[in-house]
Amino acid sequence: MTTRLAALADWVDSVATLTKPDQIHWCDGSDAENQRLTEEMLASGVLSELDQATYPNCYLHLSDPSDVARVEHLTFVCTPERDDAGPNNHWMAPADAHAKIDALFDGAMRGRTLYVIPYCMGPIDSPYARLGVEITDSPYVVANMRIMTRMGQPALERIEREGSFVKGLHSTGDLDPEKRFIMHFPDELTIKSIGSGYGGNALLGKKCHALRIASYQAREEGWLAEHMLIVGIENPQGETSYVACAFPSACGKTNLAMLIPPESHPGWKIWTLGDDIAWLHLDDNGQLRAINPESGYFGVVPGTNAKTNKNAYDMIQSDTIFTNVATTADNQPWWEDKKEGEPATDWHGKPYVAANGPAAHPNSRFTVSATKNPSYSSLAEAPDGVPLSAIVFGGRRKELAPLVYEARDWRHGVLVGAGVASETTAAATGAVGVVRRDPMAMKPFCGYNFADYWAHWLSFADRSTKLPRVFHVNWFRQDENGKFLWPGFGDNLRVLRWIIDRCEQRVEANETPIGYLPKPEDIDTSGLNIREGALDALLSVNAEQWREEMTAVGEYLNSYGDRLPAALKEEHAKVTGALAKSA
């Protein structure tokens, strides 16, 4: 297998000349190819087999201890002008970046196989999908990309028809942290990554392509590439509404994507279309539609059990690649809070000793096909995507943000998204309550200047009168004793129901300086065990706290200087003015 597309063939040849592999393999994505690669990885020790009776077709990969997470400080956006990358990105001049990383690629694949991975992000026949080719020397990357993307012959055929694709070059190099870089060249639709075999650093279709490069493509082409889950909420009458949600880490994103309705809501269903990334396009009628560019999940596994996320727990019982988990004496995967079994061997592959820290790495992962999810929606393969009723932003705030509120309109919604923030937890940083701004949950992933990104979001108000309504949620309000006021998990469906009721104009709302809040009687609390007064607290707006918040938001926005859109300043001034007049 090779290609008749000259541009692709020439690029592969040039990379081979630079990296000097022993052989070149064009990936076709077939079962036979995957089986052969799996056998080779088992033989070489890249993978080890887990207990096939209890975890059929499941394998374990252990990373180098220095290579276990994204490396944002080594991730660069390389644009001709520094301001085009913006203060939200690390920047390097393209010529300097190419020279620096190409020197590391020189001879990097000696003794290895160069794999050519043609892939499609999104349904293979969707006009909203985009194409890429990753070159890598890691068979582990090939196996993961086969799960995470539509990889192989059909993707190559579409690439050859269209002639356009994102170029991704990856090598594990020698795994030296001092020689580890992830470079993005948006103008060239090119990614170069070396020195890491881990996740988002190496699976270039994921954050590198589907967010950093795609967000740039999206601005050029008039759509949005977002760090959002996509769910369908079906009521007992069989009507389904679709919602896209953007949450920073540790804010319940995966749990919401796979929410299981509580027993108090018979007949309700949640359908998962995506857990991480959404591409949003306006159709010919001005309706914003969403596709999930990915076809699998690359999820954090610690904390996953039958209670916290039953769907995720169930789907990783077979056909899963585990990365950096521990194992039990009988060779089953194990991680903290699994609620069954005991670790015998830690994620280093050594006998487990409690004093040495967690048995599974806190960022250990599972890679599994989306079709394994019990709540998987077949519409994840719909070429035209699904119509969005609402866009929801969320953060972790123990005070301040109500349980849910609605933006006045799209432009106000952009301000709400731009101001998204979360308070750190001790587990994450060692410092509790530090407010971190993470606009649209895209801080590590926007491939260009945030000020230009907000301007692009604002432009949609001039392009359609049918845009989704915009909301903000906060599952994490606490009382004076530090107890959560809202139960969360499956009961978050009650909030989603109000959001849909607003979209369908079935309920009124209370207007406040920050937006529209629910009337308490419109949040269904039947069968819910929350203390008296909790709902009133959850739906309250403290004007003094919000004045301080909007001052902080204004300072953050102004840090983007002259590129900050005037319309965003105006929206900020509206909210600030309304708060100044309130008690």
Catalytic site residues? 251
**Is 264 annotated as a binding-site member?**
no
Torsion angle in degrees (nearest 10) through CA of 70, 72, 77, 81: 180
519 is in an annotated binding site: no
**Binding residue per annotation — 489?**
yes
**155, 131 Cβ separation under 8 angstroms:** yes
267 is in an annotated binding site: no
| Residue pair 148/371 in contact by the 8 Å Cβ criterion | no
Q: Is 252 known as a binding-site position?
A: yes
According to the annotation, is 138 in a ligand binding site? no
Note the Cα 559 to chain centre separation in Å.
26
Closest CA to 128 of 232, 207, 222, 228: 222
**Tokens found for residue 484:** 């959560």
357 annotated as a binding-site residue = no
Ramachandran area for residue 341 (φ above 0: left; ψ -120 to 50: alpha; else beta): left
The structure tokens listed for 177 are 């942290």
Q: Is 199 annotated as a binding residue?
A: yes
First to last CA, the chain: 71
The reply to whether 492 sits in an annotated binding site is yes
Q: Is 255 annotated as a binding residue?
A: yes
CA atoms within 13 A on the CB side of 146: 24
207 is in an annotated binding site: yes
For residue 161 the two structure tokens come to 């028809």
Q: Is 206 annotated as a binding-site member?
A: no
Contacts for 296 with CB less than 8 Å, ≥ 6 apart: 147, 148, 149, 367, 368, 369, 370
Q: How far is CA 401 from CA 416, 417, 510, in A?
A: 11, 13, 15
Tally the residues of the chain. Answer: 583
Find the DSSP H helices in 231-383.
253-257, 310-315
Six token digits for residue 405:
């509120």
Query: Is there a binding annotation on residue 436?
Result: no
Any known ligand binding at 396?
yes
Distance CA 193, CA 168 (A): 8
| DSSP 3-state of 6 | helix
- Residue 249 labelled as part of a binding site: yes
240 is in an annotated binding site: no
- Residue 30 near residue 155, CB atoms below 8 Å: no
Give the DSSP letter string of 224-268.
Answer: EEES-EEEEEE-TTS-EEEEEEE--TTSSHHHHHT----TTSTT-
Least Cα distance to 229 among 169, 154, 152, 311 occurs for 311
Binding-site residues for GTP sit at 250-255, 365, 396, 489-492
Binding-site residues sit at 70, 198-200, 207, 227, 249-255, 276, 363-365, 396, 489-492
Binding-site residues for substrate sit at 70, 198-200, 249, 363-365
Binding-site residues for Mn(2+) sit at 207, 227, 276
